[in-house]
Chain A
Amino acid sequence: MVGKGEAPAPRDPEEEEEEDTGGVVKLISAEGFEFVIDKKAAMVSNTLRNMLTSPGGFSETRQGEVRFPEISTHILEKICQYFYWSLHYSSGQETAEFPIEPEITLDLMMAANYLDT
C-alpha cells in the first residue's frame, strides 16, 4: 500500500533558506506509507539531522527518503506532527502541550528514542 500524507506546512517558511535546511524529505513507514515533510522539521530529530547533514550522506537520504521498517504509519504520523509542533513551540507560535494518547505512549516512546528526539 502506498499512500501520500502531507503534514501541515509551517505557516511562514523562511524567505531565504539554507541549502542544508531547505527542501523536503520523505519518511516511509513500515506499511509503506509516505510522509513528505520539510527538511527543517525533520531536523528536530537528531538521528535524521545526522543523516541529512553528514558530509558523505547516507545512500537513502541522498534520494531524499528514509525508510522506517520498525515504525508503523500512525506512530510516524504522530512523530511528524511532533516535529512541526516542536518548531512552533520553540518559536513561541504554539503554547499548548503536545498531546500523547495513552494507547500509543510506548510505541511513540520507542520511535522517539530511535529518532533521538
Chain B
Amino acid sequence: MGSRHFLPPATTQSIVPTVAPMASATGGELRLVDRCIDAAARDALTVEAWRRQRRSLERLPAQLADALFRRLAARRVLFPSLLEVFKWSVEEVDLSGSLAVDAEWLSYLGSFRYLRVLKLADCKNVDNGAVWSLAGMNTLKELDLSRCSKISDAGLRHIVAIQSLEKLRLSGTKLTDNGVMLISSLTNLSFLDLGGIRITDKPLRSLQVLTRLEHLDIWGSEITNEGASVLKAFTGLRFLNLYWTSVNHLSVPPTMRCLNMSKCKIHSICYEDSEAPVALENFIVSEAEFGNIDKVFSGIQADSLLYLDMSGCDLSNLYFMEKMKNLEHLDLSSNRITDDAIEHIAKVGSNLKYLSLKGTGITSQALCVLAGTVPNLTSLSLSHTKIDDSALAYVSMMPLLSTIDLSHTSIKGFARAEVNADKILSMSAFEHLKYLESLNLEDTPLSAEVIPPLGLFAALKYLYLKSDFLSDPALHALSAASNLIHLGFCGNILSSSGLLQFVPPATLRVLDLRGCWILTGDAVSTFCMRHPMIEVRHELMQELKANSVGRSQLKARQSQQAKAKVANSFAGPSRLPNIRFVDERIKYNKEEMMELQNLVKPNSVMHGVRLPPELRRLT
C-alpha cells in the first residue's frame, strides 16, 4: 500500500510519454533475441562457431529453439548431423518443400524427444523407409506428409504406430483403400486430410470409429452417395471437404459448420433424423451445379450462413439469398448475374465485409443500388465487369473499404459531366475512403494525368497499375504516396532515366516493374543499389542476380560496392553515382561486344576487365 506514495496520479501520467518511445525502441526495432537468432543462422561458418561451444542445446527454451531451427532451415544451412543438437529442445519442425530431407534427416528427427509438430509437406524424397524412424515418437501430435508422393500403404504402417497423433495430413500421397483402413487405429485423431486419394466407400466406413474427428478432407475421392451416408455418424464433425466428388445427396451430423462441395452436383443437404435446416456457417460451392437451387438452400438455415462462395456457378438470379442476413463473405464471381440481381445483395448487405462480383455482367448501375446498403464492406472486387468511372462515386460511399479491385475495367480516371465539359478526376472520390489500403487498377485505360490523386490517399499501402499509357510522370507522382509498401507499375512506358529520377516513398518495399520493356539492366541495377530496401521485380532481375550469385569469389567485392553505393547515395544522391553509371556503361558494352564475338569466356573477361558483377549479362 505504501507504494502509492511513489506513484500519485500526476506522476503516472507524466511517465507515459517517457515509456512510449522506449516501447517503440524495443518493439518497433528488432529485438536483441531476434538479432541473435539471425546472427546464429547467418551462414555455415557461424553455425560451426557456436556449435563448437556446445554439443547440445538442452537448456534452450523451446520457442527459441524452434525459431532458430526455422531460421536455419530457411537459410538452408541445416544438415542432418546438425539436427542432433536440437534433440532436447525443439518442439515444432517445418521443413515443408525441402527436397534435401530424406531418410537420414528423419532418423535424426525421429529421436527428437519433445517434438509435437512435424511438417514435411512436399518433401519429395521422404519415402516409406524414411518414415520408419518416426514410429516411436510418442510426443508427436501433428504430422504433415501432404504430397510426399513416395509414401504409400507400406509407409502408413509406420505412421499408425504413432498413437499420440491428433492431426494427420496425407493428401496427394499414394495411399489406397487398404492403407486408409489402417488409420482407424489412430483414435486420437481430430483432423484428417486424405485429399486427392481415390478412396472408395469401404475405408470411409472404417473411419467411423474416429469419434474425435472434427475435420475430414476427402476431396477428389470416389465416395458415392451411399458412402457419404455414413458421414452423419461422425458425430463431432465440423468441417467436411467433398470437393470434386460424385456426392449429390448429403446428410450431415448436427455439428457440421463448414462444408465444401465445389465441383459437385448438389441435390440436397439435410440432417438425417430432423427436418430442421442445417446450421452451416461456411458453404463453399464454387463451380457447383444445383439440381434445384431453391430446394438445396431450403435445407440450409439462411441466417446461420456467414461465408458463401458461389463463384462460377452459372447463376442468373439470387432469390435464394433472401434471408441470409448475417453473411459476411460473399463470392459471386464468374456468374451470369446482371444489375437486376443486385437488389438481393443489397437486402442482405448489412453485415457484408467481402464482396466479389468479378467477371459478372453488372454495370455502374449495380453500384448505385449497393451504395448505402453495405456499410461494413471492407473488400470489393469489380474486376472484369462493365463498370465505368460513374461507379467510383458510389464506391466511395462505402466508408470502411480497404481493398478495391477495379482491374480489367474501362475506368479512365476522369469523367465528363456533359459532352465538351471539363474533365473531372473521378478517382479523387476515393479520398473519402480513409481506410483504403489496397487498390488494383491493372489493365485499365488510365492516363498519366489521373495518377497524382492516388498519391494523396493517406492509408494506401498496395497499388497495382498496369497499362500501356503510363510513363515517367505517373511514377514520379507516386513519390507523394507516403505509406506505400507495394507498387506495381507493370507494362508501362517507363524510361531508364525516369526510373533513376524516381524518389520512392520511404515505406516502399516492393517495386514491380515487370513488362517495362524499355528499362535497361544498368538502370535496374543502379536503382537496386541506391535503394537496397526495395525488392525490384523485373525480367532483367534474374540475369542480374544470376550474375552476382554465380561466382562466390566476387560476392564480397560486390557487397562492398553495394555498400559504397549506398553510402554514396546517402552522401550526395546525384553526383557520384552518375559518374559511376557512365563509367560502367562503357565497360558493359565492351564486355558484351567481346561476348558477341566469342573471343573469350565471360569468366576470363571478368578477371581481365574487373567488371562489376551486377552488370554482366551472360545470356
Binding site for B on A (CB under 8 A): 18-21, 43-44, 46, 49, 55-57, 79, 82, 86-87, 89-90, 98, 100, 102-110, 112-113, 115, 117
CB distance from B17 to the nearest CB of A (A): 10
Choose one: B18, B22, B60; the contact of A106 (CB below 8 Å).
B60
Which 9 A/B pairs are nearest by Cβ-Cβ distance? A90-B25, A102-B49, A109-B36, A55-B3, A105-B40, A112-B32, A100-B39, A102-B46, A112-B33
C-alpha spacing A115/B31, complex, angstroms:
11
Interchain CB contact under 8 A, A105 and B46: yes
CB proximity of B38 to chain A, nearest CB, Å: 8
Decide if A103 touches B64 in the complex (CB within 8 Å). Answer: no
A71 to chain B, nearest CB (A): 13
Do A86 and B25 have beta carbons less than 8 Å apart?
yes
Contact B33 A86 (CB under 8 A): no
> A64 CA to B32 CA in the complex, in Å?
24
Asked whether B542 is an interface residue with its Cβ less than 8 Å from the other chain, the reply is: no
Task: Given contact pairs A55-B3, A82-B32, A117-B31, enumerate 9 new A-B contacts (beta carbons under 8 Å).
Answer: A20-B18, A57-B3, A90-B29, A102-B40, A103-B50, A106-B40, A106-B60, A112-B36, A115-B32
- Asked whether B54 lies within 8 Å of A18 as measured between CB atoms, the reply is no
Contacts of B3 in A (CB 8 A): 55-57
Task: Say whether B46 contacts A18, CB under 8 Å.
Answer: no
Cβ–Cβ < 8 Å partners of A110 in chain B: 59-61, 64
B15, B24, B25, B37: the one contacting A20 at CB < 8 Å is: B15
Within the assembled complex, what's the spacing in Å between the Cα atoms of A87 and B25?
A: 7
Chain A residues closer than 8 Å to B6, beta-carbon distance? 19, 55
Question: Which residues between 544 and 577 of chain B lie within 8 Å of chain A, taking CB atoms?
Answer: none
| CB <8 Å contact, B15 and A102 | no
> What are 13 residue pairs bridging A and B, where the CB atoms are less than 8 Å apart in the complex?
A19-B11, A46-B26, A56-B3, A90-B25, A102-B50, A103-B49, A104-B50, A109-B60, A109-B68, A110-B59, A110-B61, A117-B26, A117-B33
Whole-angstrom distance from the CB of B226 to the nearest CB of chain A?
Answer: 56
Task: Select which of B7, B33, B46, B49 is within 8 A of A55 by beta carbon.
Answer: B7
B81 within 8 A of A: no
**Separation of A107 and B68 alpha carbons in the complex (Å):** 13
- Residue ID in chain B nearest A55 by CB atoms: B3
Which residues in A have their C-beta under 8 angstroms from that of B35? 98, 100, 112
Rounded to whole Å, the gap between the CB of B556 and the closest CB of chain A is 17
Q: Given that A18-B14, A100-B39 are contacting pairs, would A109 and B25 also be in contact in the complex, using a CB cutoff of 8 Å?
A: no
Residues of B within 8 A of A87 (CB): 25
Tell me the B243-302 residues at the A interface (CB within 8 Å).
Answer: none
B136 within 8 A of A: no
Q: Could you tell me the distance in whole angstroms from the C-beta of B479 to the nearest C-beta in chain A?
A: 23
Bound CA–CA A89/B24 (angstroms): 12
Q: Is the CB of A109 within 8 A of B37?
A: yes
Tell me the complex Cα distance, A79–B35, Å.
Answer: 12
Complex CA–CA separation, A49 to B50 (angstroms):
30
Within 8 A of A (CB), among B1-45: 3-4, 6-7, 11, 14-15, 18, 21-22, 24-26, 29, 31-33, 35-37, 39-40, 42, 45
A117 B25 Cβ-Cβ under 8 A: no
- Choose from A57, A102, A103, A113 the contact partner of B33 (Cβ within 8 Å): A113
- Residue B598 interfacial (CB < 8 Å): no
Task: Give the total of B residues in contact with A, Cβ under 8 Å.
Answer: 35
B425: interface (CB < 8 Å): no
**Are B39 and A105 neighbours in the complex by a CB distance under 8 Å?**
yes
Chain A: which residue is nearest B4 at the CB level? A55
Residue of A with least CB distance to B6 = A55
B160 interface residue, CB < 8 Å from A?
Answer: no
Shortest B276–chain A CB gap in Å is 52
Q: Is B53 interfacial (CB-CB < 8 Å)?
A: yes
Give complex CA distance A1, B498 in Å. Answer: 66
Residues of chain B with a CB closer than 8 A to A44's CB: 22, 25-26
In the complex the two chains form, what is the Cα distance from A18 to B112 in whole Å?
50
A57 to chain B, nearest CB (A): 7
Q: CA separation between A113 and B18, bound complex, in Å?
A: 24
A86–B29 CB distance below 8 A: yes
- B57 contacts the other chain (Cβ, under 8 Å)? yes
| Cβ contact within 8 Å between B64 and A86 | no
Q: Give the nearest-CB partner of B39 in chain A.
A: A100
B24 to chain A, nearest CB (A): 7
Kindly list chain B residues whose C-beta atoms are within 8 Å of the C-beta of A82: 32
Q: CA separation between A86 and B53, bound complex, in Å?
A: 27
**Residue in contact with A103 in the complex, picked from B4, B42, B53, CB distance below 8 Å:** B53
Considering the chains assembled together, what is the distance between the CA atoms of A56 and B6 in angstroms? 10
* Contact A102:B42 (CB < 8 A) given known A55-B3, A109-B36, A112-B36: yes
A114 (CB) vs chain B CBs: closest residue: B61
- In the assembled complex, the CB of A103 is this many whole angstroms from the nearest CB of chain B, namely 5
- Taking CB atoms, residues of chain A closer than 8 Å to B53 are 103, 106-107
Q: How far is the CB of A99 from chain B (nearest CB, A)?
A: 9
B40–A109 contact, CB under 8 A? Answer: yes
Which of A55, A103, A106 counts the most chain B CB atoms within 10 A?
Answer: A106
Residues in B neighbouring A57, C-beta threshold 8 A: 3
User: Chain A CB within 10 Å — which of B3, B32, B36, B59 has the most?
Assistant: B32
Q: Is the CB of B36 within 8 A of A108?
A: yes
Q: How far is the CA of A44 from the CA of B61 in the complex (A)?
A: 21
Chain A contacts for B21, CB-based, 8 A = 90
Q: Tell me the bound Cα distance from A87 to B21 in angstroms.
A: 10
Question: A90-B21, A117-B32 given as contacts; is B42 within 8 A of A18 (CB)?
Answer: no
Q: Find residues 34-89 in chain B having any chain A CB closer than 8 Å to their own CB.
A: 35-37, 39-40, 42, 45-46, 49-50, 53-54, 57, 59-61, 64, 68
Tell me, in angstroms, the Cα distance from A44 to B11 when the chains sit together.
20
B561 → chain A closest CB, angstroms: 19
